[in-house]
Structure 1
Amino acid sequence: MATNTVTDEYPEISLTRRDGLKLAALGIGSVATLGVGVGGLRAVTNGAFSAGSGDPYDLWHDWSTMSGIERVVAAGVLACNPHNTQPWRMVVHGDTIDVHSDPSRRMPLNDASGREHFAGLGCAVENMVIAARAAGSASQVTLFPDGPLSDHVARIALKKDRTGQDRDLAAAIPHRHTNRGPYTSAPVDLSGFTEQSSRVHGASVLWITDEQARQRLGRLYVEATEAITADTAQSTEAFTWFRSSRDSIDKHRDGLTLDGQGLSGLTVFAAKLLPAQSRKDGDDYWVKATREVHTATAAAYGVITVDDVTDRTAQVNGGRLLTRMHLTATTLGLGLHHMNQITERIDRDTTAGHPDVFSARWAALLGRPASTGLLSFRIGHPERTPGLSPRRSLDAVITS
């Protein structure tokens, strides 16, 4: 996941209420008219005509034609990860890939315990394991070979093995994207998440499908989102990872963009004709979207659970399972949206010495201690196809 000072999520920035009213006041003809002159220049600057294309998106389009160790490493770069920080560095020696944490991509306020950072590294590890396995190579994974406090997170040793497992999951790698848009009211059949697709040692998934439990969890998500946006330091850190212009996307090739917010195509295009949003505007929209779209249309929630959310190995293994959940959802045609506001506030309050107002209710919903609920997400049948997220090049990720 360019070096940033402080950080994909979450405020998931999109149109503000005021901008929405502006767009509602525009007819289709008026939007077309804004496509020329100042509006047209802004549309070009903000990437209205180049969404999902160009260098920051090449890996999504090229991955299926790649081969060998390059294809495996590229799979890691395409893995889901928090706030699209892409927190990894890779070192390749023959058939061995060493995965390192990049501390400059930490979010000390939004991810105070580091659980999302190391889970994101676990996502990359599992994506590479799946890609290698599908291509006929077994993977021997050693976590923290230099000790649990090291930035050397994993060593992946590849060896030829003609089993060809996980081909369906590997085929989903270039099609897996976080879907933050609305989901339909159709229920989700969880039987597609088989034991094999959900198997990672030390981590499991807890499904929350009961309507009353979903409503309670939804209210807790909204409250946590409000708490994040009311915390100026936490909100500011998240906002630094939002890429509002095409120039910013091309420069950083990470973070959140308008294209990834689950808006309709016309709304995204029109939003790019408007001036860049302020942090407060983005926060206001995020709270509104969490209440009226994300929690209102979730068919089910999943929570990745481990024995201890502060354990680095457990964090990595939780990320490995999250990758399998997201790829499986992709093969089933389901949308998946990572939602970690509750645990982000738990960690923030704990680190800052604030009263802990979320752990007890989080534990009550899980039916187990809050210290076991690592990451969470919503799933459902999506109404829209999600946009692509920018990715750094292999040259920027692989170091010597």
Structure 2
Amino acid sequence: MTDDRSTDVRTHHDDPDVTHAPETPPPEEQHTAEKYPCGGGPRVSRRAVLKGIGVGAAAVVLVGAGGVSIRALTNGVFDSGDGAPYDLWATWGSQPGVRAIVAAGVLAANPHNIQPWVFTVSDTTIDLYGDPRRVMPINDSDGRERMVGFGCAIENMVCAARNSGLDPVITPFPDGDPGHIAHLDVRHGRPPTGTERALAAAIGLRHSNRGPYESRALDMDDLHQLDGPVSSEQSGFAPGSPTATTTTPQIVWIADEPRRRALGELYVHATQAIIDDEQMSKESFAWFRNDRHAIDSHRDGLTLDGQGLTPMMLTAAKLLPAQSRESGDTFWLKTTREVHTATAGAYGIVRVGDVGSPLDRLAGGRLLQHVHLVATAHHLGLQHMNQITERIARDGSLSRPNRFGPAWSDIIGIPANQGLVSFRVGYPERTASSSPRRALSDVVDTR
């Protein structure tokens, strides 16, 4: 999810008539790197250079001093993580009134950073809607990751509200419209606890960490610190809400070495299957923002900054001509095998009663976001990894044999239809970077 299929030099890991959110440009406008290759001779891909060690000097030689200067400016070498697309991470808590709560929701994890939400607010209420134009119908063919993302946004908003001594009362799908995700009544409540303050402090620091993790082991005591009660123990739902009867989500931890290795191998196989599926590959690549102009224009999607590269490799990747979809896929597969699965301290699977239930998906999303906030507070890295469940859903949508479900169920020890989404966790070697976020003015309508 998040934020979140994990792709490294491209990455991955849920309506009313909304007119004020910008539409995602069609793929032909997003693939400028493929339409307008630099120069007329043989092209040096970023992937090819990233395979080397001395990429810094190679970049200068390969593209020339003039090219380096231009690309350094246009690809954001000098302003990585700075500027308007990133400001909300630092300023969310200073927004006035309920806008601070909404801002926290905008910073939640969500699939591929598509930011599928819009909000309508008054002084004491927040309504969360899905933007029907921000979907991934191929990679998220059953819509579970998008709905999980809405659950993540709800949990962030609850944490932000509690930090201000407010108690939001949540009514999911209040009018039966599947696009009207939730209504929140924001009321005065008890003062926040120390734990609630710590969770709120983690909102602006929480990022998907796609770099390598240290070899330090994580034991079950470490892991169970992460999956304690959600901030409101799901009690923030309104009395009589149908969500009050849904199965309480849990985290299934995969920490022993044999199962970690088996699950890692399955992730690699699923990654290869996604790459081999041209439609999945193209849809994913359409959300990759290759340069600073694209980041400033869209303020969503996946970026080079968020891929966990070393500073030297990141600079080289930005200086060289933009990658193709094919080279990005190759790099993603390599990194999944050699970094993501090779260095995972443990895996977590969000278990719910039924992965097809919208209510279970919302509740699972809240737990997922809670775990990520607690992990952030404990200086742990977390990366959403959903290649396996995406392939299960994709094969189901095409009425193909379920190639991954039985192995997935056997490794995680629960039925496949209870494994909602998954992630890896560990002590990160590098600090994760911020992802771009749309302005509040683009996603909030005031009554």
TM-score by length of 1: 0.94
How many residues are matched? 393
Aligned CA distance change for structure 1 residues 247 and 373 (closer, same or farther; 3 Å): same
The yes-or-no answer on 1:138 pairing with 2:167 is yes
Aligned-partner residue type, residue 228 of structure 2? E
Counterpart for residue 151 of structure 2:
122
Distance 2:427 2:79 in 1: 27
Match of 1:88 among 104, 107, 117: 117
Match of 1:378 among 402, 419, 424: 424
Aligned CA distance change for structure 1 residues 35 and 377 (closer, same or farther; 3 Å): farther
Counterpart for residue 157 of structure 1:
185
Q: Which deviates more, 359-368 or 31-40?
A: 31-40
Counterpart for residue 9 of structure 2:
13
Aligned CA distance change for structure 1 residues 26 and 78 (closer, same or farther; 3 Å): closer
Q: Secondary structure at the match of 1:216?
A: helix
Q: Secondary structure at the match of 1:164?
A: coil
1:18 Cα shift? 1.3
1:44 Cα shift? 0.9
Match of 2:255 among 209, 215, 222: 209
The yes-or-no answer on 1:196 pairing with 2:229 is yes
Contact 2:355 2:417 in 1 (8 A): yes
Aligned CA distance change for structure 1 residues 194 and 303 (closer, same or farther; 3 Å): closer
Aligned-partner residue type, residue 9 of structure 1? R
Match of 2:275 among 229, 237, 254: 229
Distance 2:59 2:149 in 1: 42
Counterpart for residue 181 of structure 1:
211
Contact 1:192 1:332 in 2 (8 A): no
Counterpart for residue 51 of structure 1:
80
1:19 Cα shift? 2.4
Counterpart for residue 32 of structure 2:
none
Cα shift readout 1:214-265 (whole Å, capped 9, x = no counterpart): 0000000000000000000010000000000111000110000000000011
Q: Secondary structure at the match of 1:285?
A: helix
TM-score by length of 2: 0.84
Aligned CA distance change for structure 1 residues 377 and 194 (closer, same or farther; 3 Å): closer
Distance 1:30 1:154 in 2: 49
Distance 2:420 2:270 in 1: 16
Counterpart for residue 261 of structure 1:
307
Cα shift readout 1:39-89 (whole Å, capped 9, x = no counterpart): 110121111111111110010121243342121110001111110011101
For structure 1, the 5+ residue unaligned runs are 2-6
Q: Which deviates more, 265-274 or 370-379?
A: 265-274
Match of 1:359 among 380, 389, 405: 405
Contact 2:168 2:187 in 1 (8 A): yes
Distance 1:93 1:66 in 2: 14
Cα shift readout 1:275-311 (whole Å, capped 9, x = no counterpart): 0000000000000000000000000000001101011
Aligned-partner residue type, residue 183 of structure 2? R
The yes-or-no answer on 1:314 pairing with 2:360 is yes
Distance 2:224 2:387 in 1: 27
Match of 1:69 among 87, 90, 98: 98
Q: Which deviates more, 155-164 or 59-68?
A: 59-68
Contact 2:252 2:351 in 1 (8 A): yes
Contact 1:60 1:78 in 2 (8 A): yes
Cα shift readout 1:102-158 (whole Å, capped 9, x = no counterpart): 1211111100010000100111111001100111001101111112x5200001111
Distance 1:194 1:228 in 2: 30
Q: Which deviates more, 186-195 or 214-223?
A: 186-195
Distance 1:209 1:153 in 2: 34
The yes-or-no answer on 1:241 pairing with 2:287 is yes
Distance 2:198 2:139 in 1: 34
For structure 2, the 5+ residue unaligned runs are 11-44, 235-246
Counterpart for residue 39 of structure 2:
none
Distance 1:94 1:35 in 2: 56
Counterpart for residue 200 of structure 2:
170
Contact 1:254 1:390 in 2 (8 A): yes
1:29 Cα shift? 8.6
Counterpart for residue 443 of structure 2:
397
Q: CA RMSD in A?
A: 2.0
Aligned-partner residue type, residue 179 of structure 2? D
1:193 Cα shift? 2.1
Q: Secondary structure at the match of 1:89?
A: strand
1:334 Cα shift? 0.1
Aligned-partner residue type, residue 184 of structure 1? E
Aligned-partner residue type, residue 241 of structure 1? W
